[in-house]
Amino acid sequence: MTGRPRAEAPTGWLTLHDAAKASGLSRSTVHRRVTAGVARSRSGPSGETLVDARDVGKLKPRARAQTARAAYQVRPTVKRDAAWSKAAGAKPITVWLGELGDAASGFKPKGRP
């Protein structure tokens, strides 16, 4: 293996990697939860983030939302985004795209003529 060796955490602390392994979550999810204040953390001697071992039990997978609502992600090119922004005017692009989709499909949201 090349690169720098894995950091060793002092007693009572875990590296993000070890906390992720212990909690069954991904390293990035553990990092987001630590940043949000779910678990206590501190910086180690070489700058790595250490998680308090007593807080690993707080790092649990979140329940999936029980909703029938769908989400769509659109990633336009820079030129397309500029054109859409111009066409949308003062409206956010997401609102404008939703209205275009509704008009094209004939869908009429409740409360709108």
Domain that holds residue 34: 13-58
Q: Say if 111 falls within a structural domain.
A: no
Between CA 40 and CA 94 the distance in angstroms is 37
**42 residue type, one letter:** R
User: Is 112 part of a structural domain of the chain?
Assistant: no
Nearby residues of 83 by Cβ (< 8 Å), 6 or more positions away = none
CA distance 53 to 6: 18
Q: For residues 24-56, b (16+ Cβ closer than 10 Å) or e, as one string?
A: ebeeeebbebbeeeebebeeeeeeebbbbbebb
Checking if the pLDDT of 96 tops 60, the result is yes
Q: Between 63 and 96, where is the model more confident? A: 96
User: Would you say residue 1 has pLDDT above 70?
Assistant: no
Dump pLDDT digits (tens) for 53-95.
999 999 988 887 777 777 778 888 999 999 999 999 999 998 9
pLDDT per residue as tens digits for the range 9-29: 888 999 999 999 999 999 999
Do 38 and 70 lie in one domain? The reply is: no
The pLDDT of residue 46 is 81
Residue 86 confidence (pLDDT): 95
In this predicted structure, the answer to whether residue 4 has a pLDDT above a threshold of 80 is no
Q: How many Å apart are CA 21 and CA 58, to the nearest integer?
A: 14
Q: Where is pLDDT greater, at 91 or 1? A: 91
Same domain assignment for residues 69 and 50:
no
